Structure 1
Amino acid sequence: MMHARLPQRSSLPERAVGVSRRPSDSAPPLAALQRSIGNAAVTRVLTGTPLQRYVEPDGERDIADTAPYDRISENGRIAVSGRQDAFVEAELIASANAVLAASEQVRIRLEAGREVVVGGRVLHRVLPVFASREAADAAQTNSDHEPLAGESAQDREAKLESYRRSVVQPPAALGVLLQDIARLASGGRPSDRNINDVHQRLLALAMENQGATWAAANVPLNPLLDPVDYLKTAGRLIGVIVMEYADSREPERVMQDLLITMPNDCQAAAQRLLGTRTGELQQAPAEPAVGQNHYVNLSDAPGRWNNHFGAVIMRDGDDTLTFEAAADSTSRISEGKSLGYFALYGKHGTSQSFDADLRRQNTAGNG
């Protein structure tokens, strides 16, 4: 499984897009060029200078742009800024929703948010939401805290506030475990069975709330070496987890939008959004349609990851927009509304494809 919560963007080669025409054709009208690709690109097109499909944050911008972006599709109808902002044409949202609604198993729809201008085009921020309360329940999420299609702004804000309150208190299981530890510590030498039970519960809670790296570094490997000392250590660790819990949930408490709660796992995230059975996710086509998924097997390449999945929510020609999550062993939360992110990929078989992008990250160890 891929271990990268926020993929790093490597520098990608330029690829000519622009306007295709024969040498004998007259130059396209300037106004048409401005409308289609933006003022900053006009000079490069007229002079034959290739345009970057994916523009880096410090790249040249159109003076009329009202939103930053890290990558933009070849046709200019999709732009991604950071990990949680994707801007698309309203027409693409409508056409994607038609495809998503036609599938009985897909659980999500797309909403159009605020309007921006990117590359001379009017785009809208896109937000994935569950199609219905039944769809959210089928995804095994708390529908009282999930964004549902058709909700009012007031309903959404109330849900967001309720969700924020829900993540403030540490899991009740930590308190129950601490009570059990105190009971065992006061009753003489505990049995190996009871110590192993405490160990397994502590390890699971540490991994879920602090991440596998923290758990491996802090939870003793052999609880039976000194059971009495282990109980003291376990009690101290629970105290540390409780104190650090608030910091681990900070992204959840300060977010401005109610997002879909995503698992800290790429395959589980694709299943939650698309309702696809596990075995079907690995059968992804090379050019997945909206409502399908990307998949790459990385077991043949050196690196930290075995594979990766990404749910396709939008297409612009050969380019695909995904909403996905990626397993991160250092993350302190196993699920959360800050775990999902957008990514933009190019045509299969090119250096900007899903496969090539993930292989590049895997080899570099980014993420």
Structure 2
Amino acid sequence: MMYARLPQRQSPIPERAAGTSRRPSDPTSRPATLQRSIGNAAVTRALTGTPVQRYTEPGADRDAADTASYDRLSQNGMIAVSGRQEAYADAELIAGASGVLAASEGVRIRLEAGRSVVIAGRVLHRVLPVFASTAAAEAARANSEHEPIAGESAEVRGAKLDSYRQSVVQLPTAIGLLLQDVARLAGKGRPSDANVNGVHQRLLALTMENQGAEWAAENVPLNPLLDPVEYLKTAGRLIGAIAIEYAGSREPESVMQDLLITMPNDCQAAAQRLLGTRMGELQQARAEPAVGQNHYVNLSDAPGRWNNHFGAVIMRDGDDTLTFEAAADSTSRISNGKSLGYFALYGKHGTPQSFDDDLRRQNAAGNG
């Protein structure tokens, strides 16, 4: 859930509980609870007893000529990921993948090549997913005023980025309105039961959406009518806490150098936003999904926090796949997911770095 890396950030927590869906939201600054999706290659070998067959992970012998850090590098050296929200790839690979996306029916996105860096002695370019058109963004129910659209000038893209940054630091209207109503009712002596119950329902919805079910259960009083005056005082404190955490959680957007597509805080909805794919097709588990298709794993048979996960494949380098995805669940706080998607690099099916194995590790680590 989200998270940039300018300084470098940590990797994502995966996906959602069955039947849940959330709106765009995202993490607090450098949240310590976000887990790296995998350790280094040596640890992987020690734990699994299986040779690492896929991506290269950086070590002490990193090329001195590198101009960007990276966490994973594809086996052929054509794709690299750095933190959660930076991916780099060979320019021809980006162009080729974008062509495949354009030829895929219903796919709403294309890829652009951004600034260049040197990684492992090779010139790679920033991977920038963009909507194919304003109509494609609108079909995905995305705000085209804040979304990158293919073919835009640098000036237009820069203006959108500035506008987006300003928009995300503003508190949602619902938070401000509820705080105003709580303050108004608290100044009138004993409020009516109907008014207090109305505040209670709005507060529950707000805390569930922004702080998660567990936080809501621990902090929101069960019976608002037991002491309505004290309840309103508690409600005011909780709304203030939510506002503070919400503001802090927007830091990743404030340091963005490039505008990225905003994503629903739900892996399935995120894949559908990018690919425009029907639900039944999204739920097909493919060993080697092509560009414009998606990874899918059903986790209901394994102990852990999530039932499934989806990841849209936007590029391939041999057996390695680059995805742009999102992840959160109904119990998550703001710090575990937000409007920014993230890039992930997975290896060949059947290896410890495959999508299935990687997500099962994350799911087990997130248990409880």
TM-score calculated relative to the size of structure 1: 0.81
Counterpart CA distance in 2 for 1:117 and 1:178 is: 50
Give, as a single letter, the amino acid of the residue that structure 2 aligns with 1:330: R
Give, as a single letter, the amino acid of the residue that structure 1 aligns with 2:39: S
Output the aligned Cα RMSD: 2.7
What residue is the counterpart of 1:70 in the other structure? Answer: 71
Residue 222 of structure 1, CA deviation: 2.8
What residue is the counterpart of 1:2 in the other structure? Answer: 15
What residue is the counterpart of 2:357 in the other structure? Answer: 356
Residue 179 of structure 1, CA deviation: 3.5
Cα displacement string for residues 175-223 of structure 1 (whole angstroms, at most 9, x for unaligned residues)? 32233334544274422x4433322211222233344444333222332
Residue 282 of structure 1, CA deviation: 1.0
What residue is the counterpart of 2:4 in the other structure? Answer: none
Is the CA contact 1:5–1:326 (under 8 Å) kept in the aligned structure 2? no
Secondary structure (helix, strand or coil) at the match of 2:126 reads strand
Is the CA contact 2:74–2:320 (under 8 Å) kept in the aligned structure 1? yes
**Residues 160, 313 of structure 1: CA spacing in aligned structure 2 closer, same or farther, 3 A cutoff?**
same
Residues 190-209 of structure 1: matches in 2 within 5 Å? 190-191=192-193, 193-209=194-210
Percent identity of the aligned residues?
75
Is the CA contact 1:106–1:274 (under 8 Å) kept in the aligned structure 2? yes
Counterpart CA distance in 1 for 2:81 and 2:199 is: 45
Residue 309 of structure 1, CA deviation: 0.8
Secondary structure (helix, strand or coil) at the match of 2:334 reads coil
Residue 63 of structure 1, CA deviation: 3.8
**Residues 187, 137 of structure 1: CA spacing in aligned structure 2 closer, same or farther, 3 A cutoff?**
farther
Secondary structure (helix, strand or coil) at the match of 2:145 reads helix
What residue is the counterpart of 1:84 in the other structure? Answer: 85
Counterpart CA distance in 1 for 2:105 and 2:34 is: 29
**Residues 263, 353 of structure 1: CA spacing in aligned structure 2 closer, same or farther, 3 A cutoff?**
same
Secondary structure (helix, strand or coil) at the match of 1:101 reads helix
What residue is the counterpart of 2:133 in the other structure? Answer: 132
Counterpart CA distance in 1 for 2:39 and 2:282 is: 27
Residue 75 of structure 1, CA deviation: 1.7
Counterpart CA distance in 2 for 1:358 and 1:208 is: 24
What residue is the counterpart of 2:263 in the other structure? Answer: 262
What residue is the counterpart of 2:345 in the other structure? Answer: 344
What residue is the counterpart of 1:93 in the other structure? Answer: 94
Residues 11-90 of structure 1: matches in 2 within 5 Å? 11-12=40-41, 53-90=54-91
Cα displacement string for residues 301-328 of structure 1 (whole angstroms, at most 9, x for unaligned residues)? 1122211111100011111110111105
Is the CA contact 1:89–1:123 (under 8 Å) kept in the aligned structure 2? yes
Is the CA contact 2:249–2:335 (under 8 Å) kept in the aligned structure 1? yes
Where in structure 2 are there 5+ consecutive unaligned residues?
1-13, 17-32, 45-50
Counterpart CA distance in 1 for 2:64 and 2:253 is: 34
How many matched pairs?
Answer: 330
Residue 121 of structure 1, CA deviation: 2.6
**Residues 317, 54 of structure 1: CA spacing in aligned structure 2 closer, same or farther, 3 A cutoff?**
closer
**Residues 174, 69 of structure 1: CA spacing in aligned structure 2 closer, same or farther, 3 A cutoff?**
closer
Give, as a single letter, the amino acid of the residue that structure 2 aligns with 1:230: Y
Give, as a single letter, the amino acid of the residue that structure 2 aligns with 1:60: D
Counterpart CA distance in 1 for 2:57 and 2:306 is: 25
Secondary structure (helix, strand or coil) at the match of 1:232 reads helix
Cα displacement string for residues 18-66 of structure 1 (whole angstroms, at most 9, x for unaligned residues)? xxxxxxxxxxxxxxxxxxxxxxxxxxxxxxxx99743334342234433
Residue 9 of structure 1, CA deviation: 2.3
What residue is the counterpart of 1:278 in the other structure? Answer: 279
Is the CA contact 2:85–2:341 (under 8 Å) kept in the aligned structure 1? yes
Cα displacement string for residues 343-362 of structure 1 (whole angstroms, at most 9, x for unaligned residues)? 11111122221001111222
Residue 134 of structure 1, CA deviation: 1.0
Give, as a single letter, the amino acid of the residue that structure 1 aligns with 2:294: N
Is the CA contact 2:327–2:337 (under 8 Å) kept in the aligned structure 1? no
What residue is the counterpart of 2:5 in the other structure? Answer: none
Residues 159-178 of structure 1: matches in 2 within 5 Å? 159-178=160-179
Is the CA contact 2:57–2:73 (under 8 Å) kept in the aligned structure 1? no
Counterpart CA distance in 1 for 2:272 and 2:284 is: 13
Counterpart CA distance in 2 for 1:268 and 1:59 is: 39
Counterpart CA distance in 2 for 1:78 and 1:289 is: 16
Cα displacement string for residues 69-97 of structure 1 (whole angstroms, at most 9, x for unaligned residues)? 22121222111122122111111111111
What residue is the counterpart of 2:334 in the other structure? Answer: 331
Residue 7 of structure 1, CA deviation: 4.1
What residue is the counterpart of 1:316 in the other structure? Answer: 317
Where in structure 1 are there 5+ consecutive unaligned residues?
16-49
Cα displacement string for residues 235-281 of structure 1 (whole angstroms, at most 9, x for unaligned residues)? 23223333443212222222222111122221121111111233321
User: Higher mean Cα deviation, 292-301 or 244-253?
Assistant: 244-253
